[in-house]
Amino acid sequence: MEANSSSGPASSTSAVPGPPPLAALNAALYERTQILVGDEGIRRLQSANIFLAGCGGVGGHCAEALVRAGVGRITLCDHDVVSSTNKNRQLIALDSTVGKSKVLELCKRLEDISSLCQVTVLDAFLMPEDMVDILQRQRYDVLADCIDSVECKVSLLETAVKVGLKVFSSCGAGGRLDPLQVSIGDLYDTENDGLARACRGELRKRGIGPGNITVVHSKELPLPPLEPQRQDSGGRDRAINGTISYMPPLFGLMLSSAIVRCLVDPANAEKQSKKRLRDAEKKEQQRQKLAHGGSASTTQAEAAAKNQAPEADPPAAAHDNATEVVE
């Protein structure tokens, strides 16, 4: 394990691990996966370097699935500790781990699964001003974003796109119960998701449009959260969403599936990406038309009657009270 522990901006002087040697293809870890993806697929997974932000209900399951699939390197970033309220959905939340670092507990679990994967731990807050430095410390291939702070999420997504990573992100899993409404798409092709809507509004201003960020999202209308609760840490009041045991893990597993399929079959992933881009561009055009007072077409009006019309993203001020959570 490579560790970098900090409560503030992470140090840029830490040693950068090099890529691990490719493991023998007959390793037991790869035996069943190799049947599906072949030797070349295994090599692609072994060569991959993933930066995963957020080790909660979504991120923990995503990280484990990536390591079990055979990725060669993964960096885990989170500064939170396990809480007893995490036990209904988070992989590393046990009576024995309450109060302990999420990244360290997840790292121990991943290293116990595979000694072939090089796990780096970054126990630090992700601050917007540190994003470029953090994402350029290693030659990362993929960002797996599983965080829920809009400001940090937007900065992370923007930076990852601009430094050339393949970007995968989880939208809001909180407040939802129906797994059949969860799917993979483009950030600009979501609905009924306040977290995605808030991120879109900010990213649009920064020149990050459709076709850059693949997301796991749900079309299900979220159930209302509790009233905003006072934060002991002094941070802004935050509404508390209900969560169910299976939804954050489902988001994490679907996120890992999108990443694995992109790595092992990039040609097909590119075809799927182009289709998602076309769908997202259509929805963004409709959204912009509605935002500027345009009238919907007959088809759009019919969709609106069924609560399926694309929502016009609100101004930035409306994002301050967004209550969506990834976990």
Query: Residue 206 maps to which CATH number?
Result: 3.40.50.720
pLDDT band at 289; cut points 50, 70, 90: confident
Q: What is the pLDDT of residue 233?
A: 52
Label residue 307 left, alpha or beta by phi (over 0 means left) and psi (-120 to 50 means alpha).
left
Q: Using an 8 Å Cβ cutoff, are 326 and 173 in contact?
A: yes
Stated pTM of the model: 0.84
Q: What is the pLDDT of residue 16?
A: 56
Q: Is 181 within a domain?
A: yes
Q: Residue 264's beta-bridge partner residues?
A: none
279 vs 217 pLDDT, higher one: 217
- Please state the rounded mean pLDDT for residues 251-263: 98
Q: Is 161 within a domain?
A: yes
Residue range of the domain that includes 62? 2-222+238-321
pLDDT band at 133; cut points 50, 70, 90: very high
pLDDT band at 239; cut points 50, 70, 90: confident
pLDDT band at 27; cut points 50, 70, 90: confident
The residue among 148, 168, 178, 152 whose CA lies nearest residue 216 is 168
Q: What is the pLDDT of residue 272?
A: 86
**CA distance to 4, 23, 127, 173, 321, per residue, from 220 (Å):** 38, 42, 31, 10, 20
Q: Is 228 within a domain?
A: no
CA 65, chain centre distance (Å): 13
Q: Is 229 within a domain?
A: no
Q: Is 232 within a domain?
A: no
Beta pairing class for 118-123 and 2-5: parallel
How many residues appear in the chain? 327
Distance from C-alpha of 184 to C-alpha of 94, rounded to nearest angstrom = 30
**Residue 7 pLDDT greater than 80, yes or no:** no
Q: Is 227 within a domain?
A: no
168 vs 323 pLDDT, higher one: 168
Q: Using an 8 Å Cβ cutoff, are 290 and 314 in contact?
A: no
Distance from C-alpha of 55 to C-alpha of 78, rounded to nearest angstrom = 6
Q: Is 22 within a domain?
A: yes
Q: What is the pLDDT of residue 13?
A: 36
Q: Is 326 within a domain?
A: no
Angle between helix axes 150-162 and 194-205 (nearest 10 degrees) is 50
Q: How many domains does the chain have?
A: 1
